[in-house]
Amino acid sequence: MELMVTTKDIMLILPEIVVFLTAVVVLIADAWGRSRESYLNILSALGLIIAAYFNYKLFGDHGRAFSYLILRDKLAFFANYLFIFCAFVTCLYARDYLIRENRNYGEFYGLVMFAALSMMFIASSSHLLVFFLSLELMSVCLYALAGFVRDRDLCVEAAIKYFLIGAFAAGFSAVGMALIYFKANSLDLVDIVAVKPDLVFVLGLTLFVVAVLFKLSAAPFHVWAPDVYQGSPAPVTGFMMTASKAAIFIFVVRLFYEAFGVNKQLWISLIMLASVLSMVLGNFAAIRQMDVKRLLAYSSIAHAGYALVAVAAATKVAAASVVYYAVAYCLMNLGAFAVISAMAGEGEEATSLERLQGIAVEHPALAAALSVFLFSLAGIPGTVGFMGKFYVFAAGLRAGLYWLVLFALINSAIAAYYYLKVVYYMFMRDPVSLPKVQVGVATGFVVVLLVILVIQNGIIPGCLYKMIYTAIG
């Protein structure tokens, strides 16, 4: 296939170009005059706002660009909003954390924006090779971010483990793509639809799905997640746990709903098995955790299991439910880690429940905000987490997956225990050794914004869901 690049193609990726240029400008500005008190986060945020503006101007169905490699539909532009928002929030509240750790360098903001750029291309991919290259670019950025605080052993350990497991998953993905190409003679999603499955195609599809499950930290391919999420700096954990998974889930919607939908009997059993294992292993392991970051890491495995319920349904309603759940998941966890990054203190020495117990006495606003995010993660009515689970489980029921939905409901009830345990420690236990907490203006703004969005979309979910359903097409 001959790659023809036109002016129209360039215009259709203006949001991505702006994000790229912003990352470059931030890196140059940092090299020109590095300062611990610099406003690199503000420069990053302004660039992301401009990218969001161009995304708004282009929003719509424009077909495919760059010789059919990239999709420019409503879902792609909606996904751009999500990744721009995640990067915007991360860049804002990370500054307080980085200054406290004496690491307020432009590399952090540049890596976050390069990762967001790759996520935008992942969600827009209509070709498996574009997906693979974008995924590896995102992974490289996240490897570097995971070990950003280089003088902390847990950070270095997290980066090395993430790199090794990521390379392993990339191997699965590459071999799977090669087998799919051998059978389909193409890696374009449109061409893959017409393939009549045989042993080679099924093996390739299985390997590719396994690689995707690795990136989603879905069981039984989840063993890397707790150590990586716990060891990484709190703002990095929040970003990689939310935005990267959202990007994969949006691509999964394209892959299983559009490309592999006609052959769903080939992969649905694997997805259902991964869903069940993720919910069980994630929730029961989280119950035992006494470190908040590690608890939320295991929680993320369980949440991947909930979302896979709708993936297994493989309908348009289910596809919209998966994307809605991805948005809800981003809002909840970004908020939780914004609070945790402030509460943890210097060196993140106060992420254990024992150090955080009674923190509501001195910092009631932070404790209340974290409680809202935890209630949402537990699926308490009136929060976006409840509506996310409602849509996902409803999609499963419509598809006849009654036993899987019942299993997910039981696990969701079990999960409420360990979320409420954190709330109990913050409000009902007497303080022992409280960390020194300083909340900057940017962190406070982010926390308040995310609390509002979590509650607003929990009470009035229709607008967001309708926008997503329309974007699915």
Distance separating alpha carbons of residues 333 and 385, to the nearest angstrom: 10
Neighbours of 413 (CB within 10 A): 12
Q: Looking at the DSSP assignment, which residues form a beta bridge with residue 65?
A: 70
What is the structure's pLDDT at 352? Answer: 81
- Closest to 70 (Cα-Cα) out of 251, 264, 194, 327: 251
The reported pLDDT for the residue numbered 154 is 85
Q: What is the CA radius of gyration of the chain?
A: 21
**pLDDT (0 to 100) of residue 15:** 94
pLDDT at 36: 46
Q: Show contacts of 280-284: CB within 8 Å, 24+ apart.
A: 280/219, 280/305, 280/411, 281/219, 281/220, 281/222, 282/219, 282/222, 283/411, 283/414, 283/415, 283/418, 284/414
**Residue of 30, 249, 29, 22 lying closest to 116 (CA atoms):** 22
What residue spans define the domains of the chain?
267-473
Give the pTM.
0.94
Q: 209-267: per-residue pLDDT in tens?
A: 889 999 998 988 888 999 999 989 999 999 999 999 999 999 988 887 766 655 667 77
Q: In whole angstroms, what is the distance from residue 47 CA to residue 34 CA? A: 19
Give pLDDT tens digits for 24-78.
999 888 887 655 456 888 899 999 999 999 999 998 878 888 877 888 889 999 9
Task: For the chain, list residues with pLDDT below 70.
Answer: 1-3, 33-38, 258-264, 434-435
Please tell me the predicted confidence (pLDDT) of residue 90: 94
Q: Which two tokens stand for residue 303?
A: 């949440």
Give the integer Cα–Cα distance in Å for 409 and 42.
42
Tokens (6 digits) for 244: 């990267």
